[in-house]
Amino acid sequence: MPKFMCKTCGVQQAETSAPPTNCPICDDERQYVPESGQAWTTFEALASDHRNELREEEPNLLGIGVEPKFAIGQRALLVQSSAGNVLWDCVSLLDAPTIARVKALGGISAIALSHPHYYSAIVEWSEAFGNVPIYIHAQDRQWVQRPSKAIEFWEGDTLKLLPEMTLINCGGHFAGSAVLHWSAGAQGQGALLTGDTIYVVADRRFVTFMYSYPNLIPLRAASIQRIATLLEPYAFERIYSAWFGSAIKEQAKAAVARSVTRYLNAIR
């Protein structure tokens, strides 16, 4: 049976004989159903007229995005290390050129997700690289649309994936929202991969934090303070959020600190 994929959020569903009646992720107030209504495609149909674009973000960091834009339009990041490679977040398409390029770089040891909007085709990616584990925080268990034995629900504030890579459950956008700290990034000064948990804005001196981005619902002060507290022990010169070009290349930790102060002043 087909595994339908939501055209709005890009998340693949479990097998069904007919398209589902709704997408639970898009029905949630953090996302939306378009005025035109719920629409579906399949992994195979997407591959017929889309391709993946691969760009080196910095040494040992490869961006992977779908062209032309599909659904939310995020790009994934392949973080490479001598101990293994981690795919951070995911996209809805996996084509033969992408598989070949990733295998040439050492394959994938694990997949880690920031939050449900980027679950996309995680099971397809896992299966293509040997059923590698998929790490999702346990607080976001309810949002998994295509179950798999490869999914590992982790708990607590942090999880050490590899010697250079640590997952941090900052919360905020979702209860299980996470970021990935890559200590070897930015030539050893550290990089933070944030998805939407921390969002790089047009003014690269700042980031922002939201409960819902498309519906413009802000976060509470307590959520912002928790993010700041959990990130304090980590050094990072750079931040990469969810899109190509969405990055702060220098003094990113200072940008987060001033953004926390500005945000709290605004909502108070």
Segment 140-183, tens digit of pLDDT: 999 999 999 999 999 999 999 999 999 999 999 999 999 999 99
Query: DSSP state, 198?
Result: S
Q: In sequence order, which residues have a C-beta less than 8 Å from that of residue 62 and are 6 or more positions away?
A: 54, 55, 56, 77, 78, 80, 101, 102, 105
| DSSP H or E run through 187 | helix 185-188
pLDDT at 113 over 90: yes
Q: Would you list the domain boundaries of the chain?
A: 4-267
> Cα–Cα distance between 201 and 188 in angstroms, integer?
24
Q: Closest by alpha carbon to 242, among 180, 187, 183?
A: 180
Q: How far apart are CA 150 and CA 85, in angstroms?
A: 16
Q: Quote the pLDDT of residue 254.
A: 98
26 and 34 in contact (C-beta within 8 Å)?
Answer: no
When pLDDT is averaged across residues 108-131 and rounded to a whole number, the result is 98
pLDDT surpasses 90 at 1: no
Residue found under tokens 């590698």: 132
For residue 266, the model assigns a pLDDT of 95
Specify the pairing of strand 110-112 against strand 134-137: parallel
| Three-state DSSP state, 235 | coil
Q: What is the pLDDT of residue 131?
A: 98
Q: Where are the beta strands (DSSP E) in the chain?
A: 4-6, 40-42, 51-58, 61-67, 75-79, 86-88, 110-112, 134-137, 151-154, 158-162, 165-169, 178-182, 191-195, 199-200, 207-208, 210-212, 217-218, 238-241, 247-248
Query: How many CB atoms sit inside 10 A of residue 144's CB?
Result: 20
Q: What is the pLDDT of residue 108?
A: 98
Q: What is the mean pLDDT of residues 68-97?
A: 98
Residue 62 — very low, low, confident or very high, per pLDDT cuts 50/70/90? very high
pLDDT digits (tens, 9 = 90+) for 5-15: 999 999 999 99
pLDDT of residue 140: 98
Residue pLDDT, tens place only, 13-60: 999 999 999 999 999 999 999 999 999 999 999 999 999 999 999 999
Is-contact 248 239, C-beta < 8 A?
yes
Q: Does pTM surpass 0.85?
A: yes
pLDDT over 90 (residue 226): yes
Architecture category of domain 4-267 in CATH: 4-Layer Sandwich (3.60)
CA distance 37 to 42: 17
Q: How confident is the model at residue 253 (pLDDT cuts 50, 70, 90)?
A: very high
